[in-house]
Structure 1
Amino acid sequence: MEDVASHLNRRIADRVRELRAASGLSLDGLAAKSGVSRSTISLVERGETSPTAVVLEKLAGGLGVMLASLFDAPAAAARSSGGPLARREDQPQWRDPASGYLRRNVSPPGAPQPMQIVEVHFPPGGRVAFENGGRDAIVHQQVWLLEGAMDVSVGDERYRLREGDCLAMQLDRPTMFHNPTREPARYAVVIASQPPAKP
């Protein structure tokens, strides 16, 4: 598992560096846009740290992409291996070092579509909070609870999800996921983005 985590940290490092370069941002520029310190970004880009989900969400917001995009292979590798099919064994899995939740990017990274599917295994008592700010695009998300129970807070609203429930939200407010039970939870997330409406 350590080799897999190390490989994924290197992939995240390459991807963040690539997206930052494509955006024309310096380390200081990305730090200003994301709220993540320059030194932390530098560590992430060198693959010398295991960033938390909260840090990655802030970086994704600063780069104008969805969190799931940070786990994609760099563009050149994605072009050579991309296509409409993602085999189960090729879908990257990543564990958040802070909350312990395990996420798997299900969608094919090379498919030119506006939605992504992620599967999450959330441990008992686990909690993670995202600020969800900074993107130019409008991001919609639906959470479909497959097993267990979850509390999801979206801004000031709080929802208790039970098995089979599906919650639709727009990622424009702080969001918190919490498993209040002693059993693991598993859910699917469908994320879609659209450009902002023109004035």
Structure 2
Amino acid sequence: MDVTTRLARRIKDLREAQGWTLDALAERSGVSRSNISLIERGRSSPTATVLDKLSAALGVTLASLFEAPAAAAAPPSPLARVADQPLWTDPASGYVRRNVSPALPSPIQLVDVRFPAGRRVAYEQAARDDEVHQQVWMIDGVMTLTVGGAAWRLEPGDCLAMTLDAPMVFHNPGAREARYLVALARRPRPGVRRSS
């Protein structure tokens, strides 16, 4: 299954599992109903910013949107072969992300990112039911990450930890591609009721 079809099915499955209409997801995410409809039919390649808005509204991480749809998934394997890891390119910035983690239920997800020189992606970080913690470990190149009002320049070997609860900007100020690993972990917030 190609990544556009995988995204389309996964977003639709998650929306329907909530019992939401397209209008309800549009209202919760700030993404237009028509855009969501195009995405769910595999006729639009959403940007990273749009996927982040949808994932926040659906109560999952962005990386979770690349998991195989429940109806199509065989029993999950503890091994994720590189050839089977979903690879996606953001049409706006050209950054390429590979979901590395196996499709097992796990509070941890790993994502390998290649980010083109001079490019930037901004995330609004809508409220989520769960606390999502993220660490970015630089493998090659340089990146500037701005989280809320704080900015950090990351070079190979550097690792930055943050909670996904503030606007973030990823920027590659270098003259060549940057590569980094993102580790995400979810933790339920105390006292937050889960939507069904």
TM-score grouping bracket, smaller chain normalisation: over 0.9
Q: What TM-score do you get using the length of structure 2 for normalisation?
A: 0.95
Report how far residue 135 of structure 1 moved.
1.2
Of 60, 68, 71, which aligns to 2:63?
68
1:17-96 equivalent positions in 2, closer than 5 A: 17-78=12-73, 80-96=74-90
Per the alignment, residue 116 of structure 2 pairs with: 123
Deviation per CA, 1:30-70, whole angstroms, max 9, x where unpaired?
A: 01110101110000001001100000110001100000111
Unaligned regions of 5+ residues in structure 1, if any? none
Following superposition, which runs of at least 4 residues in structure 1 exceed 6 angstroms of deviation?
A: none
Per the alignment, residue 144 of structure 1 pairs with: 137
What is the aligned residue count? 192
Per the alignment, residue 184 of structure 1 pairs with: 177
CA RMSD of aligned residues (A): 1.1
Per the alignment, residue 198 of structure 1 pairs with: 191
Unaligned regions of 5+ residues in structure 2, if any? none
Q: Match of 2:71, SS? A: helix
Deviation per CA, 1:173-194, whole angstroms, max 9, x where unpaired?
A: 0001000011110000000011
Of 147, 150, 174, which aligns to 1:157?
150
Q: Percentage identity across aligned positions?
A: 57
Q: What TM-score do you get using the length of structure 1 for normalisation?
A: 0.94
Matched to 1:23, the amino acid is Q
Q: Match of 1:76, SS? A: coil
Q: Match of 1:44, SS? A: helix
CA distance in 2, matches of 1:164, 1:66: 25
Report how far residue 113 of structure 1 moved.
1.1
Q: Greater helix share, 1 or 2?
A: 1
Q: Match of 2:184, SS? A: strand
Deviation per CA, 1:65-118, whole angstroms, max 9, x where unpaired?
A: 00011111101222x152111011100100000000000000011x12101000
